[in-house]
Structure 1
Amino acid sequence: MTDKTATRVALVTGASGGIGSSVVRRLAADGYALAVHYAGNKARAQDLVEEIAAGGGSAVEVGGDVADDAAMRALFGQVEQEFGRIDVVVNTAGIMPLGPIADYDLRTFDHVMRTNVRGTFVVSQLAARHVRPGGAIINFSTTVTRTLFPSYGPYVASKAAVEGMTMVLARELRGRDITVNTVAPGPTATALFLDGKDEQTVERLAHAAPLERLGRPEDIAETVAHLAGPARWINGQTIFVNGGLA
């Protein structure tokens, strides 16, 4: 078990995903103990835990639906029992079913809102109660809240809500020495982003930014690591990590 007085501990939700797993690896490289959250892919979370352990780090997998408040309360308790503290919560968990607003299935809409909005709210609420002074809460939005691509309407609606609640929470935690920010990636080469897109669409999006490439999960993880640790004067912000995409 990790030294409960010295090692900073981070909980990463959605850690079995492309960005989430890169965040886990990046924070592990900085010496964090990691709680690696999964919703459905336990095997991938276990592989990530084993990878960190093989590199000399400390990690444990934790599962549950981020929108289930009882499950998340138990999860936060499990992390504190294992490591003795929580310093950073990175909430990457989310879903992105696309479709035009005029034809969008309302059951799918409700699922997006439950996962992306309620899930972020539940995790943020618990993070506000458990994260120690000197810590950080980092939620995830998307650059599409600014680029407003067609077919992203429900996803944009959910992530605009995340940006708003995150900025409010930063102000509600006045005096606690806890930073609260949102990271908003641009097009990033993950399974979530690439799913359902043809090669022409991917190529077009890759050249949309001035740097003329898709983001890599490692690009996003680098920003998260900065916000999790040294960036103590960035608070209540949405950080666009998109290679200059307007």
Structure 2
Amino acid sequence: MPAIHKMRKPATRLRPRAVFLGLATLTVSVALSGCTKLDTVSPSTVRKDAADAKPADQGKFGTVDCRKAKCIALTFDAGPSENTPRLLKILKEKAVPATFFTLGKNHIVKYPELVKQMDAEGHEVASHTWSHKILTKIDAKEARAELERPNKAIEKLIGKKPTLMRPPQGRTNDTVNKLSRELGLSEILWTVTAKDYTTNDSALIEKRVLEQSSRDGIILLHDIYKGTVPAVPGIIDALKQRGYVFVTVPQLLAPGKAEPGKVYR
């Protein structure tokens, strides 16, 4: 999922934890650095390949055909948190599905009922690893544990393992790719970032998202920061006015499906 861009001066001073998690918005050129550069696959490519496949091999469209509709996916990293109940209420009121890349330690463990609520309300529950360790900087054994533990925790809560994973900082390489394939996980990066770790200014977060959004976009936000959730209603309303339809990441790819071990953005 990124060369480091010069960031605006934060509106407020953030805690070390916020800065740590905020590094998740590096650009794709760095995200895919490692021993070998890995190619990413776009939603439109997945849909086209599915359309060219035999009918028996095609998936279902679900609620909308993104080959025709102007689709965009809203995703949230590093939760759930104390801000998530308000976010879920907003999403329910706006009838917008989202994809949540949840953290295990201090998040899934602390807020298990919110994970259940996400699933029950039609959102996609995915993984952001167990403790946000940079997978390309640890050995394969430790990286496997970072990926396996949230899988098991999520399955215990909602009865199914996640099929999507977002690597911390968007950093991946051949080893992470191989582990993901073995564990049945597809890696999902992003095309839109509000850099909401740099500011608590909700209006600025909304502005950044709206400036970058385009068809088939994957929006990266974090429901752990105070300024983010208040920005969501404005983002949703403005994009709906522009004709966008909000979908989960799997819906964005339908009738195609994300394949384990591949990287999408």
TM-score by length of structure 1 reads: 0.38
Greater relative contact order (CA < 8 Å, ≥ 6 in sequence): 2
TM-score by length of structure 2 reads: 0.36
